[in-house]
Amino acid sequence: MNSSASHSRSDLPGRAAEPEALVHFEPLSALWLDTLLPIEAQAYTHPWSRGNFQDAMAAGYEAQLLVNQHHELLGYFVAMTVLDEVHLLNITVNPAFQRQGWARVLLDALSLSARQKNAQWIWLEVRESNARAREIYARHGFAEVGQRKNYYPTPEGPREHAVLMSLKLWT
List, as own/partner pairs, every contact residues 136-141 make where C-beta atoms lie below 8 angstroms and the sequence separation is at least 24, other chains included.
Answer: 136/103, 136/104, 136/107, 137/107, 137/165, 138/165, 139/104, 140/104, 140/107, 140/111, 140/167, 141/167
Q: Which of 61, 125, 144, 152 is catalytic?
A: 125
For residue 137, indicate whether it is catalytic. yes
For residue 44, indicate whether it is catalytic. no
Q: Which of 61, 76, 137, 152 is catalytic?
A: 137
Degrees, nearest 5: CA angle 20-22-25: 145
Q: Which residues are catalytic?
A: 125, 137
